[in-house]
C-alpha cells in the first residue's frame, strides 16, 4: 500500500484526484494523510468527497475515512466496471473536478458508461465547462479517449446547481503529439450572464476589445439558466491544432471592465507565447499523457502540473518528463 502526504506539491485536491484515478486503474491501494494540507480549509470538502465516492463506486473500492473534513483516507480498489452513474456534489464545488478523477477510470472499464454529475460548472477555482468541452475533450479525442460531454445547466459559484452529462467509450489509445498550434483561425469572446443585467456583458466585451490585440473578434452575450446569479467571460482562441479557452469570472464588487481586462491579458499571454498548450491544459494532460504516451509543448508549468507528475511517479514506472527547449518553451513527454 502506498502512503501519500496530501501536503505534497500544491497541497490541494490534485494530489487526491490523481491518486484515486491511478489506484483504480492500476489496482494499487493507498493511504493518504494531511489531505489538502496546503489549503486554509484542509480535509475533504464536498467536491473531494464526491470524487472519492464516485471512483469507489466505479471500481468497487473499500474506503475508510470518506467523511467531510476528513484528513486521512484509505482506498483499496477493486475491478473497474462500466455502468450508468449519477453523482451530486451538493454544493457549488466543481463537478468538473469530480470528472477529472473519474473519467480516466472509466476509460479502463469493460464497456461504455454514462455519467451525470451535478454541482458547480463555473467556479473560479476549477476548469469551467467551456474549457472542458472546447479545449480538453477534443485533445483527449485525438488520444483515443472518446467521450461526449454536454452541459445540462450552468452552475455558478456560490449557488451551484449545474450539471454535466458524459458518455464514455473505452478503446485503444494513441500517443499525443501537440508540438505546434498552427495559425490562429478565429478568436471568439463570450460573456455568459445568468440572472444579471445584460449591460454587464456588454461592458465586459467592450473591455476585452480594447485590451486584446486581435482583429475581427467575434463577440457574443449568452444569457443562460442557472439557480443563482453568475457571470463569466470566455475567450476561445481557435488554432489549426488546438482551441484554447481562457476565462475570468465576475463577482459582486468586481467591475465588469476588470473582468474583461483580466481575461484579455490571459489570452494575450498565450498568443504571445507561441506554444500550443496553455498552463491549465497542461495540468489536465499529465495523467492522460502517462496513460497513452506522447508529447506536447507548453510554457512554464503550474504547481498543479508538477504535483501531478510527482504523484504519477509514485504509481507508475513512467511519468512525464519536462525538457526545456528555450527560455519560454518546455517539452513534456512520456514514453510507454
Active-site annotation, residues = 304
Instruction: Render the burial of 198-209: b for 16+ CB within 10 Å, e for the rest.
Output: eebbebbbebbe
CA distance to 22, 287, 299, 309, 321, per residue, from 313 (Å): 10, 11, 22, 6, 10
Q: Residue 113 is inside which H or E element, if any? A: strand 113-119
Residue 54 CA to residue 42 CA, distance in Å, equals 20
Residue 65 CA to residue 312 CA, distance in Å, equals 23
For the chain, how are helix, strand and coil distributed in percent, rounded to 5? 35, 30, 35
- DSSP, residue by residue, 214-248: -SS-EEEEEE---SS-EEEEEEEEEESS-EEEEEE
Q: Residue 95 is inside which H or E element, if any? A: helix 95-106
Q: Is 62 exposed, middle or buried (0-12, 13-18, 19+ CB in 10 A)?
A: exposed
R_g (Cα) of the chain, nearest Å:
19
Determine the 3-state secondary structure of 202 from DSSP. helix
- In this structure, the number of other CB atoms found within 10 A of the CB of residue 128 comes to 25
Residue 200 CA to residue 227 CA, distance in Å, equals 18
Amino acid at each position: 500500500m502506498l502512503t501519500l502526504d496530501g501536503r505534497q506539491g500544491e497541497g490541494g485536491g490534485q494530489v487526491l484526484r490523481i491518486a484515486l484515478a491511478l489506484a483504480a486503474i492500476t489496482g494499487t491501494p493507498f493511504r493518504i494523510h494531511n489531505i489538502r494540507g496546503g489549503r486554509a480549509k484542509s480535509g475533504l470538502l464536498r467536491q473531494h468527497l464526491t470524487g472519492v465516492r464516485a471512483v469507489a463506486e466505479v471500481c468497487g473500492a473499500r474506503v475508510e475515512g470518506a467523511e467531510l473534513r476528513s484528513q486521512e483516507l484509505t482506498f483499496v480498489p477493486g475491478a473497474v466496471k462500466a455502468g450508468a452513474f449519477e453523482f451530486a456534489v451538493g454544493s457549488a464545488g466543481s463537478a468538473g473536478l469530480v470528472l477529472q478523477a473519474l473519467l480516466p477510470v472509466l476509460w479502463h472499464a469493460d464497456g461504455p458508461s454514462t455519467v451525470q454529475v451535478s454541482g458547480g460548472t463555473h467556479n473560479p477555482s476549477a476548469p469551467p465547462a467551456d474549457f472542458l468541452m472546447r479545449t480538453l475533450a477534443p485533445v483527449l479525442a485525438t488520444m483515443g479517449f472518446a467521450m461526449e460531454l454536454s452541459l445540462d445547466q450552468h452552475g455558478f459559484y456560490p449557488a451551484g446547481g449545474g450539471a454535466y452529462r458524459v458518455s464514455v467509450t473505452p478503446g485503444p489509445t494513441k500517443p499525443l503529439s501537440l508540438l505546434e498550434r498552427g495559425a490562429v483561425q478565429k478568436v471568439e469572446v463570450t460573456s455568459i450572464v445568468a440572472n444579471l443585467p445584460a449591460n454587464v456583458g456588454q461592458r465586459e466585451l467592450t473591455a476585452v476589445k480594447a485590451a486584446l490585440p486581435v482583429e475581427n473578434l467575434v463577440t457574443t452575450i449568452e444569457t443562460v439558466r442557472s439557480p443563482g446569479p453568475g457571470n463569466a467571460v470566455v475567450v476561445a482562441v481557435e488554432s489549426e491544432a488546438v482551441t484554447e479557452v481562457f476565462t475570468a469570472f465576475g463577482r459582486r464588487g468586481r467591475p465588469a471592465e476588470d473582468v474583461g481586462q483580466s481575461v484579455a491579458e490571459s489570452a494575450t499571454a498565450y498568443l504571445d507565447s507561441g506554444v500550443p498548450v496553455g498552463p491549465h491544459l497542461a495540468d489536465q494532460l499529465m495523467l492522460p499523457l502517462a496513460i497513452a504516451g506522447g508529447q506536447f509543448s507548453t510554457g512554464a508549468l503550474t504547481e498543479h502540473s508538477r504535483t501531478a507528475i510527482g504523484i504519477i511517479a509514485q504509481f507508475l514506472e513512467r511519468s512525464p518528463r519536462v525538457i526545456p527547449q528555450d527560455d519560454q518553451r518546455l517539452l513534456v513527454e512520456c514514453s510507454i
